[in-house]
Structure 1
């Protein structure tokens, strides 16, 4: 039987982040509005449950997520939390525009600090540079490395929904960590053969987001989201088949999804989003749920999990 992993230490940056962090995209009204009180209660519930890592970004609600997070974190000692935000997009009245330049990165982080009410952040990620790789390498990352030397950020990273570019970034940039969303889950192990071994070899910390794949691994059904869109039928079928194996073992699918993501030795921590205090408490309970080794064996036997994938 397994237990919740020990508190994670994020790569060579040495930041103690805990095993389960709070993803703050929902606090920026992702998919549906979140009342101000609910947003605050969500962050307070995470703090009460021992959460240390809080991940946000300017694009989450056009600055709303950062503002809401900062208001609550002002209530606790700064040393008790690890704050992660992102750069790469300039906020506009209508949303945001990509800006991975050196100067744009400096301005972006300055404004994030204002919204958060902080004088430094622990982790600054370059956010989704999918179509701007060259500019990010010559501009945004260079700026963040300079800010790290100045003590404004403690760790430099990159946050993306794909592993291929992250692998190239790890090879070319002096990053401390990466945030990978949705590409190492029970449904998708894209990062297994490239990114995760590269990070492990270089001592780069890995934080996984999207371990429920936008909801399909939380509530598998037709119409559920996968990668921020309505899931295709074959994805729904795979999630339902995994859920059936979990049911036979008396294990909630959410608990198995969390436990699986912790199973790779390169992974330091997970961040899971929540929009209410109740969702936070449920995620914390799922993190404490034991998962028997036979469940992983049955998933492999059913062809639902590749045999080479490490499990807890």
Structure 2
């Protein structure tokens, strides 16, 4: 699998496995399916893995760690996140709208320096590893000041002493990462859903800032929570039910793909990977077949005529680079 340099000597594969689905995002995933998914990703050459305490309230970290502990530590790169501590509430935990993991603990925001240090220690316990390679401040949308003064101060300390090699933020928006890039010497951002066939908002400011400062992009949400994998009534966009206008746009893109004899998933994935600041396409999967399909989509031939018509019809931002230099 194609590789790229992320930061400070981190050699990463072009496709990574995102583990939110293995934490039971939207629907439960069995231990057997989770293990088979990670094993299949590994067998197909994936060596970058992204997780977070939020994903299944610790379940994704535990499942990923159980596999990675069996592999040579320098043979893969793993990222996890800070900003949420998992704590058991008093009494019965409320049902969660997103994660069906059966875990009792629930996330509590904490972007303080000490909270981040505790978060890292607790993640390492769940993973069963002695270190992670990349640490990301997770969803600090309403906590910018705390993130800069607390979380990023802790992350810079951990990077300086060699505990981690790269730091950044993981977000579902492209505006705040620009502010972080101006305030903190970050190495990368995990950007979810803001550079896809349906949304190219990252082109306005974030990607130019990243290109100018050698900041890598770990790109998640390439299918926008599913609508670009299977556009239909009830499809998800940004973790919520997609509205009719988005479904119509996805159907238009799907129809264009069909006329050119290709698949929407292949076009969606390869469009994202064509931008030079995108270092890793982080693809979620809930079973072995899904991760195999994602990798196959990255390799499927997409006719140049498709990209030409996509451009000619104005279905993507004119500034977006397309595969093959179209």
TM-score range, shorter chain: over 0.9
> Which stretch of structure 1 is more off in the superposition, 31-40 or 146-155?
146-155
Q: 1:8 offset after TM fit, Å?
A: 2.2
CA distance in 2, matches of 1:303, 1:288: 25
**What is residue 5 of structure 2 aligned with on the other side?**
9
Check conservation: 1:120, 1:151, Cα contact below 8 A: no
Residues 1:184 and 2:213 aligned together: no
1:19 and 2:14 aligned: yes
1:274-306 residue CA offsets vs partner (Å, 9 max, x unmatched): 010111111111111122222111112223122
Q: C-alpha displacement at 1:214, in angstroms?
A: 0.1
Match of 2:143 in 1: 132
2:49 corresponds to 1:54: yes
Q: What SS does the corresponding residue of 1:166 show, helix, strand or coil?
A: helix
**Residue 113 (structure 1) shift:** 0.7
Deviation (angstroms), 1:14: 3.4
The higher-RCO structure (CA 8 Å, 6+ apart) is: 1
Q: CA deviation at 1:39?
A: 0.5
Partners in 2 of 1:224 and 1:273 — Cα distance? 16
Q: 1:239 aligns with which of 250, 257, 261?
A: 250
Query: SS state of the match for residue 165, structure 2?
Result: strand
Alignment of 1:172-251 (within 5 A): 172-251=183-262
CA distance in 1, matches of 2:191, 2:67: 26
How many residues end up aligned between the 2 structures? 307
Please give the alpha-carbon distance, in whole angstroms, between the structure 1 residues aligned to 2:254 and 2:11: 32
Contact 1:180 1:206 in 2 (8 A): yes
Q: Please, which runs of 5 or more residues in structure 2 have no aligned partner?
A: 94-105
Corresponding residue for 1:263? 274
- 1:201 aligned counterpart, secondary structure: helix
CA distance in 2, matches of 1:24, 1:13: 24
Q: Secondary structure at the residue paired with 1:40?
A: helix
* Structure 2 counterpart of 1:281: 292
**Cα pair 2:35 2:63 within 8 Å, conserved:** yes
Contact 1:119 1:152 in 2 (8 A): no
Q: Where in structure 1 are there 5+ consecutive unaligned residues?
A: none
Give the deviation of 1:97 after TM superposition: 1.2
RMSD: 1.0
Q: Distance in 1 between matches of 2:8 and 2:215?
A: 8
Q: Within 5 Å, which residues of 2 pair with 1:25-104?
A: 25-93=20-88, 94=93, 95-104=106-115
Secondary structure class of the residue paired with 2:219: strand
Instruction: Return the alpha-carbon distance in structure 1 between the equivalents of residues 250 and 84 of structure 2.
Output: 33
Q: Decide whether the 8 Å contact of 2:200 with 2:316 is kept in 1.
A: no
Offset at residue 182 of structure 1 (A):
0.1
Say if 2:203 and 2:319, in contact at 8 Å, map to a contact too: no
TM-score (norm 1): 0.96
| Further displaced range: 213-222 or 299-308 | 299-308
List structure 1 runs of 4+ shifted beyond 4 angstroms.
none
Q: Is the 8 A contact 1:9 1:15 kept in 2?
A: yes
* C-alpha contact (below 8 Å) 1:187/1:239 kept by paired residues: yes
Distance 1:157 1:49 in 2: 27
